[in-house]
């Protein structure tokens, strides 16, 4: 029970980098959590705005590392051949980490662009572009030269490719705030509510094929439906960010309608995953990987679909925009959809990469449940704080900073919940290290069938 292709080992180093940066993201989360309680002792070294930019950029950074690791793991297998170039993959990892670390160090010295999520200075953007092109070239050539191609592999690659394209609108320089904001959403919104959903769908399809034993044809048929709903709602759904930024008025209507339709894609994904798992009968021994996969499908619906809907209508968004209500939704959506799918693929891949079957260890269940209960509780704490903020600041008309003071007690709840969450993630990381280093691949199977019989093989 190991990997089939030697080059899949590359994934291990991407996963390792991802979880280490994830733990650093959590540290910055705590710095902000305490600052919100009134304990801002680090203010002179790491002011709140720096901590916030580092926290959110680390999030995007480790998720991208996780997606890349997943691609290096999945694409050789789906293409039934070794990766095009292993050295290139390592060069790409090291340079990507270097750019990330330089950017994050710069934030601590006030070298940044003050645009939420896109703080990275323009010159470094170009290095990111070269890096991503290298990644797309390497995985693309693997697919191009492959004896077969699968829908799952193509959807995953298509998602990664379009994510790269959509990075570019964020690099245009505007001297008007509205235009800058307008195109910033092409990156931020069209990533998480568009092309990243393809990445998530591709990874989820792969995991379902492997873990449920259901025929690939059935699982992939539904993947097309999900891709369809995603684009139908998500593209014009960008309008839910254009309500009050100075864009034309028709966006109130367009954003309201299409934004409200967006949860359907997440609902479809949740129903799809649950139905497949039920039908499959659960004979795969790696139950933890199935927990993360189904957990991802359900929590993404709750965090992105349900809590996204909660503030997508213009009548609601005019009150909640840019408050802690947004942070409430941002946490559970990112966690459910993208963090959980990355932790899911890692949980699936580790026994194969290292040849060790540790998935029955209670540590895996502890990590899954504590992290999830912790994150739900964090979301609740943000929700209560957010609703209070909207009421005091925007209904009563209290001063912004006075309201922040009123909210201090809510952040005790947040920090407690976050501690539970952090223990769950710590258990995940300990388990990762217990697996040890990757081992050599076993001889690949002869080129062959795409049918469901492959499913229970590894
Ligand atoms: C996994 C998918 C999603 C993720 C990761 C996500 C994450 C986020 C984040 C981080 C923000 C804050 C962005 C910023 O201010 O720069 C945000 C804003 C927003 N999201 Fe989502 N979201 C997702 C899906 C959805 C869906 C499906 C809906 C609608 C049903 C939605 C509705 C909104 C709205 C209306 C805002 C604007 C909030 C404001 O005005 O402050 N999101 N989302
Ligand atoms: C120990 C755990 C964590 C703590 C204590 C924490 C705390 C915070 C705080 C206090 C903020 C700033 C809210 C504000 O603007 O006032 C924030 C922002 C944010 N965090 Fe976390 N966080 C944690 C983990 C995470 C995780 C695991 C994710 C993603 C999976 C995440 C995603 C985000 C996002 C997307 C934002 C920006 C939200 C927005 O646009 O309003 N955080 N976090
Ligand atoms: Fe959006």
Q: Domain holding 95: CATH number?
A: 1.20.210.10
- Does residue 422 line the site of ligand 2, with CB under 6 A? yes
Residue 69 has a pLDDT of: 98
Q: What 3-state class would DSSP assign to 354?
A: helix
Nearest CA-CA partner of 52 in 33, 69, 74: 33
CA 143, CA 164: separation in Å to the nearest integer?
17
Structure tokens at 251: 């966006």
CA 167, CA 227: separation in Å to the nearest integer?
20
CA 152, CA 455: separation in Å to the nearest integer?
14
Residue among 27, 118, 308, 331 to mutate when testing ligand 2 (max atoms within 8 A of CB): 331
- Provide the number of structural domains found in the chain: 1
Structure tokens at 391: 């009421």
Is residue 453 in a domain? Answer: no
Distance 273 CA to ligand 2 centre (A): 27
Residue 453 has a pLDDT of: 38
Is residue 454 in a domain? Answer: no
Cβ count near 22 (within 10 Å): 22
Residue 283 has a pLDDT of: 81
Close Cβ partners of 68 (under 8 Å, ≥ 6 residues apart): 14, 92, 93, 96, 135, 160
Q: Tell me how long the chain is.
A: 458
Each residue of 241-273: b (16+ CB within 10 Å) or e? Answer: bbbebebeeebbebbbbbbbbbbbbbbbbbebb
| Cα→Cα distances 77→12, 86, 332, 358, Å | 15, 15, 31, 22
Nearest CA-CA partner of 401 in 27, 33, 31, 35: 35
Residue 252 has, within 13 A of its CA and on its CB side, a CA count of 8
Is residue 40 in a domain? Answer: yes
Is residue 423 in a domain? Answer: yes
Close Cβ partners of 222 (under 8 Å, ≥ 6 residues apart): 268, 272
Residue 442 has a pLDDT of: 78
Is residue 60 in a domain? Answer: yes
Tokens 């001889």 sit on residue: 443
Is residue 387 in a domain? Answer: yes
| Cβ–Cβ < 8 Å for 439, 355 | yes
CA 280, CA 302: separation in Å to the nearest integer?
24
CA 290, CA 294: separation in Å to the nearest integer?
6
Sign of CA dihedral 47, 48, 50, 55: positive
Residue among 64, 236, 307, 326 to mutate when testing ligand 1 (max atoms within 8 A of CB): 326
Structure tokens at 203: 């990874």
Residue 17 has a pLDDT of: 98
Domain range for 293? 6-441
CA 458, CA 350: separation in Å to the nearest integer?
12
Cβ count near 123 (within 10 Å): 7
Tokens 């949860």 sit on residue: 263
Distance 189 CA to ligand 1 centre (A): 7
Q: Which ligand is nearest to the CA of 192?
A: 1
Residue 193 has a pLDDT of: 97
Residue 450 has a pLDDT of: 45
Is residue 143 in a domain? Answer: yes
Nearest CA-CA partner of 346 in 6, 5, 11, 58: 11
The dihedral region occupied by 281, where left means phi > 0, alpha psi between -120 and 50, and beta the remainder, is left
CA 46, CA 8: separation in Å to the nearest integer?
38
Rounded to the nearest 10 degrees, the angle between the axes of helix 340-354 and helix 408-435 is 20
Q: For Cα atoms 217, 220, 221, give the angle at the middle one, nearest 5 degrees.
A: 80
> What's the predicted TM-score (pTM) here?
0.96
Q: Which ligand is nearest to the CA of 310?
A: 1
CA 57, CA 128: separation in Å to the nearest integer?
13
Q: Which ligand is nearest to the CA of 258?
A: 1
* Separation of first and last alpha carbons in the chain: 6
Write the residue with the smallest CA distance to atom 9 of ligand 1: 330
Pocket of ligand 1 (CB under 6 A): 116-117, 188, 192-193, 240-241, 259, 262-263, 300, 304-305, 308-309, 311-312, 317, 321-322, 326, 329-330, 333-334, 337
Residue 443 has a pLDDT of: 64
Is residue 356 in a domain? Answer: yes
The tens-digit pLDDT sequence of the chain (458 residues) is 789 999 999 999 999 999 999 999 999 999 999 999 999 999 999 999 999 999 999 999 999 999 999 999 999 999 999 999 999 999 999 999 999 999 999 999 999 998 999 999 999 999 999 999 999 999 999 999 999 889 999 999 999 999 999 999 999 999 999 999 999 999 999 999 999 999 999 999 999 999 999 999 999 999 999 999 999 999 999 999 999 999 999 999 999 999 999 999 999 999 999 999 999 977 899 999 999 999 999 999 999 999 999 999 999 999 999 999 999 999 999 999 999 999 999 999 999 999 999 998 999 999 999 999 999 999 999 999 999 999 999 999 999 999 999 999 999 999 999 999 999 999 999 999 999 999 998 765 555 444 443 444 44
Distance 107 CA to ligand 1 centre (A): 24
Cβ count near 44 (within 10 Å): 7
């Amino acid at each position: 029970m190991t990997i089939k292709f030697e080059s899949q080992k590359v994934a291990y180093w991407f996963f390792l980098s991802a979880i280490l940066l994830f733990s650093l993201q959590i540290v910055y989360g705590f710095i902000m959590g305490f600052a919100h309680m009134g304990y801002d002792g680090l203010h002179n070294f790491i002011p709140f705005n720096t901590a916030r930019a580092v926290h959110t950029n680390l999030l995007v950074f480790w998720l991208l590392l996780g997606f890349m690791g997943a691609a290096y793991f999945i694409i050789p297998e789906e293409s039934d051949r070794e990766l095009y170039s292993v050295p290139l993959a390592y060069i790409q990892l090291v340079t990507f980490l270097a750019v990330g670390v330089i950017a994050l160090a710069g934030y601590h010295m006030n070298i940044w662009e003050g645009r939420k999520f896109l703080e990275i200075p323009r010159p470094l953007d170009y290095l990111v572009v070269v890096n991503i092109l290298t990644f797309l070239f390497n995985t693309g050539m693997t697919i191009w030269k492959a004896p077969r191609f699968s829908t799952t592999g193509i959807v995953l690659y298509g998602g990664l490719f379009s994510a790269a394209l959509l990075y570019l609108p964020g690099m245009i320089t505007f001297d008007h705030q509205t235009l800058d904001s307008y195109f910033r959403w092409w990156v931020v919104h069209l990533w998480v509510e568009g092309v990243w959903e393809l990445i998530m769908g591709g990874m989820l399809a792969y995991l379902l094929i492997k873990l449920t034993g259901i025929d690939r044809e059935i699982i992939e048929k539904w993947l097309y439906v999900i891709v369809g709903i995603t684009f139908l709602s998500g593209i014009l759904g960008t309008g839910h960010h254009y309500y009050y930024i100075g864009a034309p008025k028709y966006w109130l209507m367009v954003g309201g309608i299409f934004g409200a339709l967006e949860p359907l894609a997440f609902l479809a994904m949740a129903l799809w995953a649950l139905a497949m798992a039920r039908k499959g009968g659960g004979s795969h021994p790696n139950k933890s990987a199935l927990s993360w996969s189904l957990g991802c499908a359900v929590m993404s619906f709750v965090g992105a679909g349900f809590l996204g809907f909660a503030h997508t209508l213009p009548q609601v968004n005019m009150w909640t925009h840019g408050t802690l209500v947004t942070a409430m939704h941002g946490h559970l959506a990112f966690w459910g959809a993208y963090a959980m799918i990355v932790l899911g693929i890692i949980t699936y891949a580790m026994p194969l990469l290292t040849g060790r079957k540790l998935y029955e260890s209670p540590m895996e269940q502890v990590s899954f449940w504590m992290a999830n209960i912790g994150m739900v509780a964090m979301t609740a704490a943000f929700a209560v704080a957010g609703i209070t903020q909207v009421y005091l600041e925007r209904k009563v008309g209290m001063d912004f900073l006075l309201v922040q003071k009123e909210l201090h007690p809510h952040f005790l709840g947040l920090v407690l919940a976050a501690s539970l969450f952090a223990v769950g993630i710590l258990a995940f990381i300990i388990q990762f290290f217990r697996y040890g280093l990757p081992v050599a691949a076993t001889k690949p199977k002869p080129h062959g069938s795409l049918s469901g019989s492959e499913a229970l093989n590894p």
